[in-house]
Amino acid sequence: MSDTCELRAANGQPGVHCEGDRCVYWRVVEHVGLIESADGCAIQHFGMLHGGDELASWLLSVKNRVERLRPDA
């Protein structure tokens, strides 16, 4: 896994450090029960950014909306 956020890079924000377990896309693989003890970014794991700019933009908007709703935000 990369040290930089590939989702933000795909949205014109290169060089932003990966947030790790503070990100809503972190450890999604483990949470949905696909792989036990999978620690990492679902965006990278599933290769989700190959869908183009619209998908990257939508995924970032979902991340931002979910994170605004978090009680610790």
pLDDT tens, 30-52? 666 655 556 678 888 888 888 67
- Domain residue ranges in the chain: 6-66
The residue with tokens 């483990």 is 30
**Of 32, 58, 27, 31, nearest to 44 (Cα)?**
27
Query: Does the pLDDT of residue 1 top 70, yes or no?
Result: no
Please report, as a single letter, which amino acid is at residue 39: D
Confidence of residue 62 (pLDDT cuts 50, 70, 90): very high
Main-chain phi, psi angles of 25, to 5 degrees: -90, 0
pTM: 0.76
